[in-house]
């Protein structure tokens, strides 16, 4: 797997994801357990938390939707966190990997490896032989 150096800036992104999770804590029936921070190529940070309801959404979807609704389409790096996750991080689920691949095939993802080391890699490494759009932008079927 191709990996990149995890920089101080990447560690700051992890802290930002935790701040997102802290801001989302509310008493009641809703549980926000995953925080996400998405860094755009211009350095702007977009945040998200999972929305846990009958048709809930992953934190990554919320962060990407936050960026897109703000007019940002150029993503650099994304990280998700969970206090009980390996190294305090949270690996994007398969559905989120596919969404990230479609919206930003060059995005880098920070997550923990099998030894709980924090790594940074390409989304393509996390979703080999992924379904993609045709070069025309059309769907394949
Ligand atoms: Zn997901």
Domain with 105 in it: what CATH number? 3.40.140.10
Does a structural domain hold residue 9?
yes
CA of 87 to the centre of ligand 1 (A): 18
Res 141 pLDDT > 60? no
Look up tokens 């994801």; give the residue.
17
Give me the domain span that covers residue 96. Answer: 3-126
Strand partners, 51: 57
Does a structural domain hold residue 49?
yes
CA of 64 to the centre of ligand 1 (A): 11
Which pLDDT value is given to residue 97?
97
Which pLDDT value is given to residue 140?
63
Confidence of residue 30 (pLDDT cuts 50, 70, 90): confident
**What is the tally of structural domains in the chain?**
1
Residues whose Cβ atom is located within 5 A of ion ligand 1: 58, 93, 96
CA of 93 to the centre of ligand 1 (A): 4
Q: pTM of the full predicted structure?
A: 0.92
Strands 108-112 vs 75-81: parallel, antiparallel or unpaired: parallel
Does a structural domain hold residue 138?
no
Which pLDDT value is given to residue 25?
84
CA of 37 to the centre of ligand 1 (A): 13
Mean pLDDT of 34-41: 98
């Amino acid at each position: 797997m191709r990996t990149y150096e995890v920089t101080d800036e990447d560690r700051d992104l992890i802290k930002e994801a935790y701040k997102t999770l802290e801001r989302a804590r509310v008493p009641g029936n809703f549980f926000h357990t995953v925080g996400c921070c998405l860094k755009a190529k211009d350095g702007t940070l977009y945040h998200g938390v999972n929305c846990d309801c009958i048709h809930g959404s992953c934190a990554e979807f919320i962060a990407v939707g936050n960026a897109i609704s703000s007019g940002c389409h150029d993503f650099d790096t994304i990280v998700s966190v969970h206090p009980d996750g390996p190294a305090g991080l949270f690996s994007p689920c398969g559905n989120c990997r596919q969404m990230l691949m479609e919206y930003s095939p060059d995005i880098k993802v920070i997550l923990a490896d099998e030894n709980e080391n924090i790594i940074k890699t390409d989304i393509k490494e996390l979703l080999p032989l992924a379904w993609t759009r045709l070069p025309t932008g059309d769907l394949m079927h």
